[in-house]
Structure 1
């Protein structure tokens, strides 16, 4: 296979495992919904337009601080407090992913953050599912979308959210996640939820190794039993590169690679939160070369002004990846999806491989 053009990257089938619903709103939608509820949006230093608001979000997130990055969600979450608003956001999410060539997506959000106006947790999940169903139907079935229910690691509702994920398991929810600032909030605080999910034979991923190092990854895997690592970029701290170019893996890195634990890597987002200094120096390059189970993701499409096309294109530019490399990332992600095996296989054989061959 050859080095792809930007148009080929855009047309290539993509699989997205790490995307936040409240991090992917269209700026115009935020303006519309804010006007309906009287929510004050940030000053953009001029006329408020979709373009100026989008720029404000990106600049607020370019600070290099995870905490500052997370502040921007105050505005997106504020406009997602009614069933109609949540359904609109979910439907538009699917439309945008379809336009980006995504054939399978797991989209995550924290139901507990959408109940301030009286919705129940169950009603929040139902509103998201309604939007996803509308978007998938409008696409003519060109995409499969599942929910991941996230608990906030600084709160104490993880057991409740885990039970909600199980209640919705056969109705659109594929798994569970915890998110939020890592430092000071280890995943082991939510051990009861993870143990419950394991007893229920359920899938879960954990944000780990983004804002905090190896202990966070170690706890997520060895204490909590995570199926996948959300980001996991700091696993590179357990990889030593010698002066002669030789590479030695520490015990945790070896375990992650040997067990094929998927890394949900989000390159552009990592630059914004300071987890990496440039795409060319991002650990994804070495981890890919060492054949870890690397997947490529968007994290927050609004905050990073990104898409799957953009993420993959930046990797092509930085590392000279071929079409075969992009297919490898895509199949890695599909293999790692929280979807039944036969359904994963069908998407790989019926969509990903044929559409890559057609490129």
Structure 2
């Protein structure tokens, strides 16, 4: 990749990756704050930060998140959650979140967050959701004023090691006509399978609200199975460890044979989207069994085998990244060209939790934008 001003360009070309239309499926609200916003919100409530100044604080987040452990990675969210406990703070963060998506060429973004983590200041779950939606709406209006068309949808997240998933599922259904498009399960994965929340997933299925489940990041195939069959997940949050169910054999004559297990075959055949987040997957150690560099990521293997791979940021603050940067990094690592990047965006558009007609409209906008690149 090359960088010119605020834009990222495809290596060896004049094609601006930043300017390409993109879809973001896996992006956490409390993982996408601006450093300066954290400083200002913390100062307003007298909250002590681990570093002084926005730049130093952003560096602290990136260094702390690069731990090789999901549990350690998640500890950084104690800071962002602490400054997101009022309606005003939630609205500001959500508005800026959309501003930053729009600046990165994202035309549709699903924004996931856990309302149950934002009640320390006395907000009800419904008040918290309404505050975030107000900010998202303001961000969309800002984009329109700048001549950009950006849309958003909320993914209401339940925390897998807590016991409020039914309450959160009911919350999501209540707000489905007010910005909520789906449900997510997140938090420490190992030891907390989706099966623990089967009642909530049954309720969501009965009310036809789609779900995505974090699985195949800090735990393996059993977690993915539970996400699919207990959680009825239409997408897998990360899902990178589905590659554990794929056997690659290289012969002496340089030929390669690939065998899919029954689980990976199921995921491939049904085009269950994998919400892959390359930089984050490196930071949390999700791909440690394959290596420590981006080139070791199973992303390309999954792509070449026909899985519905999508590219995501996970947490822009913790990974010091953008969706454009993730695409650029993958392009450099695996020599992807413009058509590959378009495929990733069309995969994401097809996997959104929007109605079919809206998904088709997104796909058209993506194809038009790439044709003009």
Shorter-chain TM range is over 0.9
Q: CA deviation at 1:4?
A: 6.8
Judging changes above 3 Å, is the alpha-carbon distance between structure 1 residues 234 and 201 closer, same or farther for their aligned structure 2 residues?
Answer: same
Higher relative contact order (CA 8 A, sep 6+): 1
Q: Does 1:170 align with 2:173?
A: no
Cα RMSD of the aligned pairs, angstroms, is: 1.1
Structure 1 position 131 matched with structure 2 position 135: yes
Distance 1:34 1:235, change over 3 A: same
Structure 1: stretches of 5+ with no match in the other structure: none
* 1:111 and 2:119 are equivalent in the alignment: no
Are the equivalent residues in 1 in contact too, given 2:154–2:179 (CA < 8 A)?
yes
1:322 is matched with which residue: 328, 337, 340?
337
- Other-structure match for 2:81: 77
Q: Aligned equivalents of 2:79 and 2:117: distance in 1? A: 12
Question: What are the equivalent positions in structure 2 for 1:26-105 lying under 5 Å apart?
Answer: 26-42=34-50, 44=51, 48-105=52-109
Equivalent position SS for 2:295 = coil
- Among 223, 230, 243, the alignment partner of 2:250 is 243
1:183 and 2:190 equivalent?
yes
TM-score, L = length of structure 2:
0.93
Distance, in Å, in 2 between the alignment partners of 1:58 and 1:74 is: 14
Per the normalisation by structure 1, the TM-score is 0.97
Counterpart secondary structure, 2:16: helix
Q: 2:222 aligns with which of 215, 227, 230?
A: 215
Equivalent position SS for 1:242: strand
Aligned partner of residue 10 in structure 1, secondary structure: coil
State the Cα deviation string for residues 246-276 of structure 1 (Å, max 9, x = none): 1000000000000110000000000000112
Q: Distance in 2 between matches of 1:6 and 1:71?
A: 40
1:139-170: CA deviation from partner (whole Å, max 9, x where unpaired): 11610100000000000000011001110001
2:316 match: secondary structure: coil
> Aligned in 2, Cα 1:97/1:269: closer, same or farther, shift over 3 Å?
same
List gaps (5 residues or longer) in structure 2. 1-9
Q: CA deviation at 1:223?
A: 2.4
Classify the secondary structure of the residue corresponding to 1:302: helix
CA contact (8 A) 1:109 1:148 kept: yes
For residues 56-96 of structure 1, what are the alpha-carbon distances to aligned partners after superposition, in whole Å with 9 as ceiling and x for unaligned?
A: 00000111111110000000000000000000000000000
Q: CA deviation at 1:224?
A: 2.2
Match of 1:8, SS state, is coil
Contact 2:39–2:54 at 8 Å: present in 1 too?
yes
Instruction: Check the 8 A contact 2:311/2:326 in 1, yes or no.
Output: yes
Rounded Cα–Cα distance in structure 2 between residues aligned with 1:49 and 1:119: 29
CA distance in 1, matches of 2:55, 2:96: 17
Distance 2:356 2:184 in 1: 20
Matches of 1:118 and 1:267, distance apart in 2: 36
TM alignment of 1:132-151, pairs within 5 A: 132-140=136-144, 142-151=149-158
> Distance between the aligned counterparts of 1:255 and 1:49, measured in 2?
48
Q: 1:144 and 1:75 mapped to 2: Cα distance?
A: 28
Distance 1:271 1:226 in 2: 24
**8 A contact 2:111–2:155 mirrored in 1:** yes
Corresponding residue number in structure 2 for 1:279: 294
Kept in 2: contact 1:13–1:101 (CA 8 A): yes
Instruction: State which of 333, 343, 352 in structure 1 corresponds to 2:366.
Output: 352
Structure 1 distance, partners of 2:25, 2:281, is 16
Distance across 2 between alignment mates of 1:74 and 1:335: 34
Q: Any conservation in 1 of the 2:201–2:230 contact (CA below 8 Å)?
A: no
Counterpart contact for 2:11–2:332, Cα < 8 Å: no
Aligned to 1:290: 305
1:19 aligned residue = 27
Distance 2:354 2:98 in 1: 18
Give the distance between the partners of 1:4 and 1:268, measured in 2 at CA. 23
Q: Find the aligned partners of 1:319 and 1:203 in 2 and give their Cα distance.
A: 32
